[in-house]
Amino acid sequence: MREWGRRFQMRKIIHIDMDCFYAAIEERENPSLCGKPVAVGGSSRRGVLTTANYEARKYGCRSAMPVYKALELCPQLILLPVRFDLYSSVSSGIRAIFHRFTDLVEPLSLDEAYLDVSHLRSGGAAVAREIRAQIKEEIRLTASAGIAPNKLLAKIASNWNKPDGQFEVDAEEIPDFVRNLPVGRLWGVGRKMRQRLAAQGIQTCGDLQRFDVVELVKRYGKWGHELWHLCRGMDDRAVQPHRIRKSVSSETTFSENLHAMEDLRRPMEVMLAGLVEELEAKHSMRRIRSLVVKLKFADFQQTTAERAGQVLDALVYEQILTEAWSRGGGRPVRLLGVGVRFDDPQPMMQLDLFGG
**278 catalytic residue (yes or no):** no
Runs of H (alpha helix) within 140-261: 151-157, 174-179, 191-199, 205-209, 213-220, 222-230
Q: Which of 112, 137, 138, 269 is catalytic?
A: 112
Count helices and strands (H / E) in the chain: 14, 12
Burial (CB count <10 Å: 0-12, 13-18, 19+), residue 76: exposed
Q: Do residues 302 and 264 touch, judged by C-beta distance below 8 A? A: no
In whole angstroms, give the CA distance from residue 169 to residue 248.
32
Q: What is the pLDDT along the chain (356 residues), one digit of tens a residue?
A: 444 444 445 789 999 999 999 999 999 999 999 999 999 986 666 567 888 999 999 999 987 788 888 999 999 999 998 888 898 899 999 999 999 999 999 998 889 999 999 999 999 999 999 999 999 999 999 999 999 999 999 999 999 999 999 999 999 999 999 999 999 898 878 777 888 889 889 999 999 999 999 998 988 888 888 899 999 999 999 998 876 667 888 888 787 889 988 889 888 888 888 788 778 766 766 788 899 999 999 887 889 999 998 888 888 999 999 999 999 988 999 889 999 998 765 443 333 333 33
**What CATH number was assigned to the domain covering residues 12-167?**
3.30.70.270
**What CATH number was assigned to the domain covering residues 247-342?**
3.30.1490.100
User: ω into residue 37 within 30 of 0, thus cis?
Assistant: no
Q: Do residues 231 and 183 touch, judged by C-beta distance below 8 A? A: yes
Enumerate the domain spans of the chain: 12-167, 180-230, 247-342
| The pLDDT of residue 347 | 41
Domain 180-230: give its CATH superfamily: 5' to 3' exonuclease, C-terminal subdomain (1.10.150.20)
Strand partners, 38: 78
Sign (positive/negative) of CA torsion 91, 96, 97, 102? positive
Q: Is the pTM of this model over 0.95?
A: no
CB atoms within 10 A of CB 93: 12
